[in-house]
Chains A and B, each alone.
Chain A
Amino acid sequence: MPITQTEVEKIAELANLELTPEEKDSFSLQLAAIIDYIDQLNEVDTSQTKAWQQRSAGDAIISAVTRNDDAAPSLGAERALENAPDPDEGHFRVPRVIGG
């Protein structure tokens, strides 16, 4: 399945990427190849297949793995901000955004 230049541009925008014209060309080919590869899965009949095959057994309430509602120690502000590029006043400082 071919991927158009416009589609590449849209995906780049959604991913916050700036691409050169050469990159757009090469990614359009590469994305098409990836999708073709994945498309092979369509040959398999998955109508009877569950989205998730692995189950934890013996739990009447919720079959998924869950945890109890117990608060555990957190990292703390200092460690949480340790790798932040621009921390200030105990917060992650970022370019100004408006709204919420």
Chain B
Amino acid sequence: MKEGWEAVIGLEVHAQLRTESKIFCGCSTAFGDEPNANTCPVCLGLPGALPVLNRRVVEYAAQAALALGLRINTESIFSRKNYFYPDLPKGYQISQYDRPFSEHGAVEAPTTERDEAGHPQEWRLKHFGITRAHIEEDAGKSVHDIGDPGKSYVNLNRSGTPLLEIVSEPDFRSSWEAYDYVGFLRRTLQYIGVCDGNMEEGSLRCDANVSVRRTGAEKFGTKAEIKNLNSLRFLQRAIDYEIDRQIALIEAGGEVVQETRLWNEREAKTYSMRSKEDAHDYRYFPEPDLPPLEVAAEWVETVRAGLPELPEARRRRFIGEYGLSVDDAFTLTGQRELADYYEAVVKASGNSRAAANWVLSELLRELKSGGIDITGSKVRAEHLGALIKLIEDSTISGKIAKDVFADMVATGKAPEEIVREKGLVQITDLGAIEKIVAEVIAANPKQLEAYRAGKTALLGFFVGQVMKASGGKANPQAVNEILKAHLEAEGR
């Protein structure tokens, strides 16, 4: 950011709650179905249709609120937010206004600035306040790229999909802080299973309120709201663009206008929506078709007790308990199933470092190349743990273990079975190794001479030959020692 300036950013995140049916009717929430197929009088806004609240929405909202440190109000009220838009069939959105579902939350999220190439600088934990999280329904979708270019097309399948709107305090000072916070929210919501976090499909959407002020100034500048941010990268880039735009505008003697802007990724610019801002009078009033939402305090405690360990807590535990680096712990706790898998490998192997190495390098590489995630892995955690044990007790060498692992990936078999079938048990019988060493030395007189003349780097060559002769099964440490002894003893 330009010297002498500070950005102030607040974020509104809309998270689609992962229910089977919509918030106020039984229509399916499936993504990608035939347009307008999943609609009924309630979500079409037909006269006389009445909403009935989906209780799972309340359960999911409660889990999310507690995971984000929010206080759940024992009574919250649904309100109508009135505005005209073709994708809003009732002419109002059922939302919550002056008495939201939950308030006064905060998270401690890891964040870092990045260099030009996007590489993290120094991770630190930052406190981000969350003003409120309330329950509301989604609108339909306007489509502009089919049929008549002079028209818009409305698909109401999304109308009435349950959302949790999570409103932050203006606690962000850079685009990367916003990026890390939204990523943190997304991981958390995915972790507890209330939102699939798919930004491309719109399951998680983000609006950013951006303003700038001179460093040291107390008063906030005029903010612009950027909408249409459907990826973390867009969010980050749009905020950076908007910060630069506002600073340039003010330095040129202009003034920031309070308005809604859209991010255009292709042109890497934000655009004014040029809507009449004075028309943004939503005339909220209590929804007469829905009673206040009352939640018993004991029930809230039941929900709290049922929450899994959250990713940030788990990450810290992985660092403390398993001696992992911050980065490794970060990757391993990024997905709940992956973290569970890792812990199962630790349990089966008794070696947390080796478990981390195998999962992070070998397993994740295999999964990535196969285009699957951990839940589709053929290699069971207990099997990977057993493989690590086989290396530790010298049954097989690390090199053979990689071959065994490749077989495990392909077949899903237990490592012991593969080792037995293929006769891969490591040769630890010193006599057998000595025999191979003697043969290898005898077969390579030139190299032997060179070694004796001082080219001790040839040890690697001899090790390689012995390993090859043993089919990779000789214990490398024993090979090293025996070879050295032979090469040097015979030289004298």
B430 at interface by CB-CB < 8 Å: no
- The docked-state distance in angstroms from the alpha carbon of A89 to that of B477 is 71
B5 at interface by CB-CB < 8 Å: no
- Report chain A residues within 8 Å CB of B39: 74-75, 77, 80
Give a binary string over B139-156; 1 marks a CB under 8 Å from any A CB, 0 the rest: 000111011111111111
- The docked-state distance in angstroms from the alpha carbon of A94 to that of B292 is 35
Contact check, B281 vs A90: say whether CB atoms are below 8 A apart. no
Closest to B154 in A: A92
Contact check, B44 vs A80: say whether CB atoms are below 8 A apart. yes
In-complex Cβ contact of B291 among A54, A90, A93 (8 A) = A54
B469 at interface by CB-CB < 8 Å: no
- The docked-state distance in angstroms from the alpha carbon of A64 to that of B296 is 11
Contact check, A96 vs B27: say whether CB atoms are below 8 A apart. no
Q: Which of A51, A77, A89 has the most CB of B within 10 A?
A: A77
Contact check, A90 vs B27: say whether CB atoms are below 8 A apart. no
Give a binary string over B286-319; 1 marks a CB under 8 Å from any A CB, 0 the rest: 1000111111101100000000000000000000
The number of residues on chain B lying at the interface, defined by a beta carbon within 8 Å of a beta carbon of chain A, is 63
Stretch at the interface among A19-27, A38-46, A55-63: A55-63
- Report chain B residues within 8 Å CB of A61: 55, 58, 295-296, 299
B461 at interface by CB-CB < 8 Å: no
B52 at interface by CB-CB < 8 Å: yes
- The docked-state distance in angstroms from the alpha carbon of A79 to that of B294 is 36
Q: Which of B350-394 contact A (CB under 8 A)?
A: none
The number of residues on chain A lying at the interface, defined by a beta carbon within 8 Å of a beta carbon of chain B, is 42
In-complex Cβ contact of B151 among A63, A67, A93 (8 A) = A93
- The docked-state distance in angstroms from the alpha carbon of A76 to that of B152 is 21
- The docked-state distance in angstroms from the alpha carbon of A97 to that of B87 is 10
Interchain nearest-CB distance for A10 vs B (Å): 8
**B residues within 8 Å of A by Cβ?**
19-21, 25-29, 34-41, 44, 52-58, 77, 82, 84-87, 142-144, 146-156, 227-228, 260, 262, 273, 275, 279, 281, 283, 286, 290-296, 298-299
The 4 A-B residue pairs with the shortest CB-CB distance, nearest first, are: A72-B26, A91-B153, A69-B56, A63-B294
**A residues within 8 Å of B by Cβ?**
10, 13-14, 16, 50-52, 54-55, 60-77, 80-81, 88-100
- Could you list some 24 contacts between A and B, CB below 8 A? A13-B279, A14-B283, A52-B292, A61-B295, A62-B296, A63-B291, A64-B53, A67-B26, A67-B55, A68-B56, A70-B26, A71-B27, A77-B39, A80-B44, A88-B148, A88-B151, A88-B153, A90-B34, A90-B36, A91-B35, A94-B152, A94-B153, A96-B149, A99-B227
